[in-house]
Amino acid sequence: MTQPIFLIGARGCGKTTVGEALTRACGFIFIDTDQALQAKAQKSIAEIVEEEGWSAFRARETATLQSVTQPATVIATGGGIILSPVNRDFMRNNGIVIYLNAPVSVLAERLEAFPEEAQRPTLTGKPISEEVHEVLAQRDALYRQTAHHVVDASGAPEAVVREILTALQVARAS
Ligand SMILES: Nc1ncnc2c1ncn2[C@@H]1O[C@H](COP(=O)(O)OP(=O)(O)OP(=O)(O)O)[C@@H](O)[C@H]1O
Ligand SMILES: O=C(O)C1=C[C@@H](O)[C@@H](O)[C@H](O)C1
Ligand SMILES: [Mg+2]
């Protein structure tokens, strides 16, 4: 199996962290759309949003998603990639989509410890745990409808990788 693997989920669910570990486990190449987009723009996401607005960021995100997609690649996406129907269809039709699902309390704890504001400018202007709650309520259904597999992402990265590999093997065997 060399189909690309897309990791989707809320900010802080571990797409980047788990994606790097999954890449090592399956011998694929790792790409992170947030990192690729910032490298191409030579600006942080916070700077892009400040100078060009969220809709320009979203357009860059769609172009990045399409340009990085290739076989044998684990693609960690930005938390809002599923907002666009074009992105949702693209991922479902061009690879295997895994939703890293974690409760608000776990997400908020991780984001409070590692806010990385240059990559995660505020979406609502509210405190982190309120924002995580509000944004996940709006997006959870979109993550679920886009995913081929939903995986519990609240454990350690190695445990999440094991769950993903199990889901992929079960899918291949059936
Ligand atoms: N499974 C995990 N267990 C414990 N800590 C984790 C886990 N996954 C990620 N973290 C920590 O939580 C923080 C956020 O993780 P990460 O950057 O991988 O999330 P993300 O889903 O890529 O977020 P974003 O959508 O903003 O890119 C990191 O500092 C990381 O060390
Ligand atoms: O949840 C979101 O909408 C975002 C998540 C980050 O990964 C970045 O893609 C950006 O900060 C937007
Ligand atoms: Mg990330």
CA dihedral (157, 131, 10, 86) in degrees, to 10, reads -170
Asked whether residue 120 is marked as a ligand-binding residue, the answer is: yes
Q: What confidence tier does 1 reach under pLDDT thresholds 50, 70, 90?
A: confident
Closest C-alpha residue for ligand 2 atom 10: 120
* Residues in contact with ligand 2 (CB, 6 Å cut-off): 11, 34, 45, 78-80, 119-121, 123
ipTM of the modeled complex: 0.97
**Residue of higher predicted confidence among 171 and 99:** 99
Domain boundaries, given as residue ranges, for the chain? 15-168
Long-range contact set of residues 82-91: C-beta below 8 Å, sequence gap at least 24: 82/8, 82/139, 82/142, 82/143, 82/146, 83/58, 83/139, 83/142, 84/58, 86/62, 87/61, 87/62, 88/142, 88/145, 88/146, 90/65, 90/66, 91/6, 91/8, 91/65, 91/146
CATH class for domain 15-168? alpha beta
Over residues 130-155, mean pLDDT: 98
The pLDDT value given to residue 68: 98
At 37-94, the pLDDT tens digits run: 999 999 999 999 999 999 999 999 999 999 999 999 999 999 999 999 999 999 999 9
Query: CB burial class (10 A; 0-12, 13-18, 19+) of residue 69?
Result: middle
The Cα–Cα gap between 72 and 17 comes to: 18
Beta strand pairing call for 29-32 and 5-8: unpaired
pLDDT of residue 171: 65
Asked whether the whole model's pTM tops 0.95, one would answer yes
Residue 96, phi then psi, degrees to nearest 5 = -110, 130
> Is 122 or 173 the better-scoring residue by pLDDT?
122
Residue 37: predicted pLDDT:
98
61 in contact with ligand 1, CB cutoff 6 A: no
Predicted confidence band at 173 (pLDDT cuts at 50, 70, 90)?
low
Asked if residue 110 belongs to a known ligand binding site, the reply is no
